[in-house]
Chains A and B, each alone.
Chain A
Amino acid sequence: MVTCVNDAMYPETGKAVVTLLRRLGVEVDFPEAQTCCGQPMVNTGYLDEAVPLVRNFVNTFDGYDAVVTPSGSCAGSVRHQHSLVARRAGDRALEEAVARTSPCSYELSEFLVDVLGVEDVGAYFPHKVTYHPTCHSLRMLGVGDRPLRLLQAVRGLKLVDLPKAEECCGFGGTFALKNAETSVAMGSDKARHVRESGAEVLVAGDNSCLTQIGGLLSRQRAGVRVMHLAEVLAATEGSTGHSAGHPVDAAEVGA
């Protein structure tokens, strides 16, 4: 699952996931019926509106060995909120389908480390990087230090600590608009910590958090760029973009 935000706004992240997974020998598919996991509706309280999206998700992904998504919060929504939405809809068949699709949905770093069992993905990225452990990856999914282990294995990459790393960036979905002032106050402090880290690139596993932090950093002309973890892990010596790769006998995956 590429996610609706990445599909519409950050296609390079999706391409990086495809490149990376193919490089690791995974057969990747992008079922074109996919849209959105429903998280924006659920988190704003519009549970009925989320029902068709959850239904579309299970119809699209039921049957794949693994559903990989480059977003901690979308993975969190699939694993923790879909059952809630299905229960509310009172649709037994949907509940059963959710019980099949939720457990095999993974955030990218979980899939790489836990399912594929790799930490060195063969990436090369000669830059000074700091990592923001987005809240839903950290606390809802519990991905722990998996992303850091993946980054530490990247050749040329210098990883520096982010002060108060575990504090929220203030994005929070519609919170960023409904409580814009508070959201910006939180994000400004996060941007300050990123600058204090001395990193050139801020990496995270969720482009929505990076939109918030990156949007503040660039407004400040901070000279720090933001990048999705997938794009760093996909980068190799001499590569600037994605490559086709060679699928081999491995689990079939819906990205």
Chain B
Amino acid sequence: MTATFVGMPAFPGAARTALADTQLRQNLAHATGTIRTKRARVVGEVEEWEELRLAGAAIKDNTLHHLDEHLLRLEESLTELGATVHWARDAEEACRIVAEVARGHGVDEVVKVKSMATQEIGLNEHLAEEGILAWETDLAELIVQLGDDLPSHILVPAIHRNRAEIREIFRREMGKVGRPAPEDLTDVPAELAGAARLHLREKFLRAKVGVSGANFAVADTGTLVVVESEGNGRMCLTLPEVLVSVVGVEKVVPTWGDLDVFLQLLPRSSTGERMNPYTSTWAGISPGDGPQEVHVVLLDNGRTKALADTVGRQALRCIRCSACLNVCPVYERTGGHAYGSVYPGPIGAILNPLLKGVGHDDQVDSLPYASSLCGACFEVCPVRIDIPEVLVHLRSQVVDTHRGHKPPKPEAVAMRTAAWTLGDARRLGLAERASGLVGRLTRRGRALPGGRRALGRLPWPGSLWSDARDLPQPPTESFRAWWKRTSGGRG
């Protein structure tokens, strides 16, 4: 994959482009609608769902409060079981560690399990610079990689593509990097999956090094867990001689028993299944079985910064299920690319600013505003991340970084003026009398249903509203003036 999110415009601009893509709108509305319904059905079956959510949030919070202890315990367990543990402060360090392992075995390719952490650090691009090809083996990741495209969803990164587009990509690209797609390939899903199986099989059997992430890392037992649907993960985790797993530090859970809660929450929230088809667990090295050299890279890359934020730290509970993306009305219309990150949607709108920090990149600073604060995300989140609360908190951080700037942003001037006017009832009353005058002077507007008249086209920034939406003319008398004139409606 050579495409990157570097240089993406801020959300409103990127969204404008996406909103005009009719195929994208169609694909997303269909896909998110389907998965939303599936999730609602299987979550509705679980009577104690709310208790499970509370338990999931509590386990994560407790672990995060003592993160250092649990991570050291994890390192100890893993080391005892023959794994090599590496600590990576940032993307650069993590990529270097993986590349060193691959180079140490003289390979020019690795097979990959779908992993958000390796996407986040740009591992594939880094390995490519060192002459090592990283093959994505998850079906949707394969589609994205072959199409020289970018992922647009955490769980189903090719959600923006429909099957006709996928057939086209397979026919055009597969032959360039391995076994070509069959000549007579149609867009029937089973045939497309069949073509991917054949194409990938030779890569599974050939690869000496596998790269993965982990959904969970159990500190007590040194067990890493990968939850998946397709079985490609199982192939990558068992066939190669060497396995490197890049794991965000927030993935640690204290005990094996904690998995009980998360293995119920995750599949129902993400794919809308009661149970996912493949759950692979491994603890270090099993002599004579599976990879005989196991590396685990524990990744910070902004996570400790997020942990220091008392409101924002709840984002580290995230188990990457994507339920918030699938219900988000903004995501449904703009798709994932508009968020300019491998983490799109509501969780991306808080996670990116938390990991990267606000105040130095307009693209990152635009993300907390990419929401109408409707709250649908919080409602479905299996670990109860109050995303609207964190969005508002991050907005205040964005505003605070610009305080004292000269000249102030027009928005800041507008907000301060509004706050000043609204700070005192007398000033508000005067403003209402002025707007009432506008109402009296512009009596000629088009009649609206209900008897009022419409304001015409407004100058900027009012045009942002009036370009597509009517606005009624201000009433000639405010409520306040009416109350006074009629002595509370009695006069």
* Residue B437, interface by CB 8 Å: no
A63 within 8 A of B: no
Q: Which of B158-186 contact A (CB under 8 A)?
A: none
Name the contact of A178 in the complex, choosing from B19, B369, B399 (C-beta under 8 A). B369
The complex places the Cα of A118 from the Cα of B11 at a distance, in Å, of 46
B489 in contact with A18 (CB, 8 Å): yes
Q: Which residues of B sit under 8 angstroms from A249, Cβ to Cβ?
A: none
Q: How many A residues touch B, CB cutoff 8 Å?
A: 78
Per DSSP, chain A at the interface is: helix
- Name the residue among B11, B371, B431 with the largest chain A CB count within 10 angstroms: B371
B308 within 8 A of A: no
B20's closest neighbor in chain A, by CB?
A181
Contact with A along B369-381 (1 / 0, CB 8 A): 1111111101100
Looking at A2, A45, A223, A227, the one whose CB has the most chain B CB atoms below 10 A away is A45
Give the residue among B330, B373, B399 with the most A Cβ atoms within 10 A: B373
Interface of chain A residues 173 through 218 with chain B (CB within 8 A): 173-187, 211-212, 214-218
Measured in the bound complex, the distance between the Cα atoms of B461 and A11 in whole Å is: 25
Using CB atoms, name the residue of chain B closest to A52.
Answer: B423
Contact of B425 (CB < 8 Å), options: A33, A136, A212: A33
A11 touches B478 (CB 8 A): yes
How many chain B residues sit at the interface, stated as a range, is: 35 or more
Among the 9-residue stretches A35-43, A92-100, A147-155, the one with 4 or more Cβ atoms under 8 Å from chain B is A35-43
A98 to chain B, nearest CB (A): 17
Q: How far is the CA of A81 from the CA of B334 in the complex (A)?
A: 29
Of all chain B residues, which has the CB nearest A135?
B374
Measured in the bound complex, the distance between the Cα atoms of B371 and A15 in whole Å is 33
Question: Are A175 and B369 interface neighbours, CB within 8 A?
Answer: yes
Q: How far is the CA of A136 from the CA of B464 in the complex (A)?
A: 24
Would you list which residues of chain B between 55 and 93 have a CB under 8 Å from chain A? none
B423 touches A35 (CB 8 A): yes
Nearest to A50 among chain B residues (CB) is B419
Stretch touching chain A among B228-236, B252-260, B390-398: B390-398
**B404 smallest CB distance to A (angstroms):** 12
Closest B residue to A182 by CB, please name it: B15
Asked if residues B392 and A179 are in contact (CB atoms below 8 Å), the reply is no
Tell whether, in the assembled complex, residue B465 and residue A180 are in contact, meaning their CB atoms are under 8 Å apart: yes
Which of these, A22, A28, A135, contacts B372 with CB under 8 Å?
A135
Binary CB contact string for chain B from 306 to 348 against chain A (1 if under 8 A, 0 otherwise): 0000000000000000000000011001100000000000000
Q: Which residues of B contact A81 (CB under 8 A)?
A: 392
Contact B470 A30 (CB under 8 A): no
Cβ–Cβ contact A172 & B479, under 8 A? no
Q: Does A7 contact B (CB under 8 A)?
A: yes
A71 on interface, CB distance cutoff 8 Å = no
- Is A106 interfacial (CB 8 A cutoff)? no
Is residue B49 contacting chain A, with contact meaning CB distance below 8 A? Answer: no
Query: Chain A's nearest CB lies how many Å from the CB of B327?
Result: 9
The answer, among A8, A48, A180, for a CB contact under 8 Å with B464, is: A180
Say yes or no: is A254 at the interface (Cβ < 8 Å to chain B): no
Instruction: State A54–B470 Cα separation when bound (angstroms).
Output: 31
Determine which of B370, B435, B483 lies in contact with A179 in the assembled complex, contact meaning CB atoms within 8 Å: B370
Is A9 interfacial (CB 8 A cutoff)?
A: yes
Whether the pair A139, B378 counts as a contact (CB closer than 8 A) is yes
B375 A139 Cβ-Cβ under 8 A: yes
Contact check, B454 vs A139: say whether CB atoms are below 8 A apart: no
22 A-B residue pairs with CB within 8 Å: A4-B422, A8-B474, A8-B478, A11-B475, A22-B489, A32-B484, A35-B424, A42-B392, A45-B392, A45-B394, A45-B396, A46-B399, A168-B374, A172-B371, A174-B369, A176-B464, A177-B464, A178-B12, A181-B16, A184-B468, A186-B329, A226-B450
Chain B residues engaging chain A, CB cutoff 8 angstroms: 11-12, 15-16, 19, 329-330, 333-334, 368-376, 378-379, 392, 394-400, 403, 411-412, 415-416, 418-419, 422-425, 428, 431-432, 435, 448-450, 454, 461, 464-465, 467-472, 474-475, 477-480, 482-484, 488-490
Additional pairs, 7, CB under 8 Å, beyond known A30-B479, A173-B372, A174-B369: A7-B479, A8-B431, A32-B484, A36-B422, A173-B373, A186-B330, A215-B469
